[in-house]
Amino acid sequence: MSTTAPAAGQLPVADTPAVRRAFLRLLLTEKRRAAVAVGLHLVAAVAAAVAPLLLGEMLDRLTAGSGTGAIDRLALGLVASIAAVIGFTWAGTFVSHRLGERLSARMRVEFVDRALRLPMPVVEQAGSGDLMTRSSADVPEAGVLFRDGLPQITVSILKVIVFLGAMLWASPLLGLCMLVVVPPLFIGTRWYLKRARTGYLNERQAESAIGDTIGASADGARTTETYRLRDRRDAAGDATVARHWAAARYTLFLRSVFFPFLDGAYALPTATVLLVGGALYFDGAVTIGTVASCAVLTRQIMFPIDHILMWVEKVQRGFAAMSRIEGVAEAEDTEANATAERPVDGTVDLIDVRYAYPSGTRDVLHGVTLSVPAGQRLAVVGPSGAGKSTLARLISGSDTPREGRAAIGGVDVAALPLDERRRRVTLVTQEHHVFTASLRDNLILARADASDAELNDALAAVGADWAFDLPDGLDTALGGKARELDAASAQQIALARIILADPDVVILDEATAMLDPRAARDTERALAAVLEGRTVIAIAHRLHTAHDADRIAVVEDGRVAELGSHDELIALDGHYAALWRAWHGGAENRADADDGEPEHREEDLASAGNPL
């Protein structure tokens, strides 16, 4: 897939040859239906060309004083040709619209599939506005191209060819009169096409920018209010709207020059045929019927030409939309380079890993080396901003180290094909989305072929007993206005998905941080059984999580400062030991009323005066 450079922070845009290839590839998936549609429209076009020829013949016979029998036969032929035009046009339109709908549906499915496969950093960098505009504006725009544009343009081209053929057959000289329309159409269309692609692309990109700006303003509304940034947000909004206005004005200018110009050009061929035809008739070179047939055909031919040119603009828009839709496919190319190797087990290895965020100027990990044998549990603790979540992203393959390796079972995790990676490693963060869908649909995201019994087992394993009291069981609609779930229940759904996905490696990035301490402990207890046998990397917010792990890595400023079991680190008497003493001291003095476990010390390690 070749692409043109995207605007900073936007997803790529495919270039024209790539879009043409994509268009053809889609079309070839329905080649039989396409052939039937072309055949039906071809017959309709021939029938439509026969009608003016019969009309001319009737005129000549009438002028020559032929008997009514011959005229009647010609009139019957005329009626038959009109009936054929109606019948075949209807059948051709039916088939070609079905074809268009199927192609449009296929394109949508491909787009969604590709969007879901986009690497996380790509989406983060591009911003949700760009992807949203591509799905909400570009996909429908390109859909119009397939549904309406493709059938209409094909039919129009067929008609032009057939009508021109009929004119040339009736009188080559009068047929050639059609050529007068070619220079103005060529010059006008070339002028328009040269400018339209860039014009419509700019308009679309400006629309994306408006989406991004509105989204950012809405997301940061509180911050805007707090820091009185309203004027700045307004200015940013005004700037993007001004850019869109300029882009839209430019495309309007193109249309307002091109289309009136076309109207003038259309009058030329009929006038020429009548002029030349008149002269030829008086010379006796053609009959009056031939002149009449050709004059009617020039009018007939203008409709499909006008249709084609009307569609030129929409095709431009459609192709611009397709460039942006196909641009998303670049992610598939990363799949093309995926390794064929498969991890031998769930061992996690980080070897001298260095990493800088694309938007950052400095490394946030400075040569981290860690090895977690398959089935072991490593807790990662450290102050806010130390690099714990970044480590989680690298181990999950969401990002690739700038230097060094992040491997699972001996294979670079980011090089694994997406499906394999999703099967091998699951990252659970505190953001757990419940989709507006049934409980079943929310669960089978993790494994599409899971049976109801397996779904129920997974729910039971994470202690989601509430799910068994739902009115419609697994069919109960969740999310949105249907049934809002609290954070703990949403978290349990996320954890049940892990059981269903059955990965070798599970990364819990503060997965229980949003739950209240008791709910978190309950979930973690349930998790302990669920995680049995898997390699677990737990970014620990609560010290008891670290205590229960096989080993603990203390991460500080992008480096592993301490590594060992709880007892080893206590014996080392370093940062971890200091934190543990502070926490444990509190635990002894403040027993929780219910279960005797410390409560307030289980807050965020960083915010609770964390000495790490």
Which residues sit at the interface with ligand ATP, rule CB under 6 A?
357, 359-360, 364, 382, 384-390, 606
Q: How far is the CB of 593 from ligand ATP (least distance, A)?
A: 29
Q: Which is nearer to ligand ATP, 506 or 507 (CB)?
A: 507
Closest to 566 in 3D by CA, of 371, 389, 378: 378
For residue 395, the minimal CB distance to ligand ATP (Å) is 12
CB of 558 to ligand ATP, least distance (A): 7
Sort 606 into a burial class: Cβ within 10 Å, 0-12 / 13-18 / 19+: middle
Neighbours of 336 (CB within 10 A): 8
Residues 6+ apart with CB under 8 A from 389: 509, 510, 539
Q: Of the two residues 224 and 389, which places its CB atom closer to ligand ATP in the complex?
A: 389
Q: Tell me whether residue 301 or residue 540 sits nearer to ligand ATP (CB atom).
A: 540
Residue 125 C-beta: closest distance to ligand ATP, Å: 9
The least CB distance from residue 31 to ligand ATP, in Å, is 46
Write down the residue that tokens 């953001």 correspond to. Answer: 431
CB of 310 to ligand ATP, least distance (A): 46
Tokens of 34: 């396409």
Element (H, E) at 55: helix 31-64
Of residues 568, 517, 562, the one with CA closest to residue 543 = 517
Q: In this complex, which beta carbon is closest to ligand ATP, that of residue 103 or of residue 553? A: 553
Nearer to ligand ATP, 124 or 332 (CB): 124
Tell me how far, at minimum, the Cβ of 365 lies from ligand ATP, in Å. 8
Residues 6 or more apart from 478 whose CB is under 8 A from it?
434, 435, 436, 437, 438, 439, 442, 485
DSSP, residue by residue, 80-138: HHHHHHHHHHHHHHHHHHHHHHHHHHHHHHHHHHHHHHS-HHHHHHH-HHHHHHIIIII
Is residue 379 within 8 Å of 540, Cβ to Cβ? Answer: yes
CB-wise, 2 or 384, nearer to ligand ATP?
Answer: 384
Nearer residue to ligand ATP within complex by CB, 394 or 458: 394
Beta carbon of residue 382, minimum distance to ligand ATP (angstroms, whole number): 5
For 537, phi then psi, to 5°, come to -115, 110
Measured from the CB atom, is 366 or 547 closer to ligand ATP? 366
Nearer to ligand ATP, 250 or 357 (CB): 357
Residue whose structure tokens are 């598939």: 332
Q: Which is nearer to ligand ATP, 161 or 606 (CB)?
A: 606
CA distance 320 to 317: 5
Nearest to 112 by CA among 417, 322, 337, 325: 325
Judged by beta carbon, residue 4 or residue 607, the one nearer ligand ATP is 607
Pairing of strands 425-429, 3-4: unpaired
DSSP 464: -
CB of 316 to ligand ATP, least distance (A): 37
Q: Closest distance between ligand ATP and the C-beta of residue 606, in Å?
A: 6
Least separation in angstroms between residue 550's CB and ligand ATP is 21
CA 437, 439, 441 angle in degrees (round to 5)? 60
3-state secondary structure of 150: helix
Token digits for 431? Answer: 């953001």
Q: Minimum CB separation from ligand ATP for residue 463, in Å? A: 26
And the tokens for 326? 């196909």
First vs last C-alpha separation in the chain: 48
Nearest-angstrom CA–CA distance, 308 and 313 = 9
Q: Which is nearer to ligand ATP, 306 or 556 (CB)?
A: 556
CA-based nearest residue to 431, from 539, 530, 542, 510: 510
